[in-house]
A = this chain, B = another copy of it.
Amino acid sequence: MTRRAVVLLSGGLDSATVAAWARSDGFEVHPLTFEYGQRHRVEIDAARAVARQLGLPEPRVVRLDLGAVGGSALTDPGLDVPKDALGDGIPVTYVPARNTVFLAVALGLAEVLGAFDLFFGANAVDYSGYPDCRPAFVDAFQALANVATKAAVEGAGRFTVHAPLMTLTKAQIIQRGVALGVDYALTTSCYDPAPGGACGHCDSCLLRRRGFEDAGVPDPTRYAR
């Protein structure tokens, strides 16, 4: 029987690569997307387009109003997204406990589907400032999953949290994704997109642009003028 996996699919470059990776590992991939009060609803459309291109089921979209929690430039209209400055420390675009929340919902969906594998695009290289993108976080969440669930308590299986991009550079992620057949033109990474495309100046745009350069792959991103 094909093993099922729940994959966090945001519509960004990293998660598209992870979805293709899980598929190539032989999993039946179930994409999960969040509408979490982020400024950029365009992400959800990108997630749907990526799933379609990879031949995956339509992503389940879970609405979650993290705006009521606040504290991040990505969910709080009162905070500006920084431009042209890859700074030190934990950036203002960090959403408190975001990956914890997303993986928790993914865990619930996995229980319902009878899946024991969760995939997400954590990366400790480019997102070294994000506490929930480190191996220690992945290990702690996996330990939690194995005591938190009916499936684990009843002995039906053990959960594994996969973060295959953890130690890769953006260029390595892109090269791997191209080999796996990802169409990066469908993905969106910008923290502050305009109607015409990506801003080209936020942290995420800067990392993405540099990644394509370093990978020697033409950048398919549509930038706003």
Contact = CB atoms under 8 A, between A and B. Distances in A.
Stoichiometry, as copies per complex, reads 2
Size category, A interface: 35 or more
Interface in A33-77: 60-66, 68-71
Contacts of A109: 69, 96
A150 interface: yes
Given A65-B63, A148-B131, A148-B140, A97 B101 contact: no
- Secondary structure class of chain A's binding surface, majority of residues: helix
A68 B64 contact: no
A99 interface: yes
A125 interface: no
A131 B144 contact: no
Contacts of A149: 96-97, 131-132
B63 A63 contact: yes
Interface in A2-40: none
B69 A148 contact: no
A100 B102 CA distance: 10
**What 3 A-B pairs come out closest when comparing CB atoms?**
A97-B108, A71-B112, A96-B108
9 contacts: A60-B69, A63-B63, A69-B112, A101-B104, A101-B105, A131-B149, A132-B148, A137-B147, A140-B147
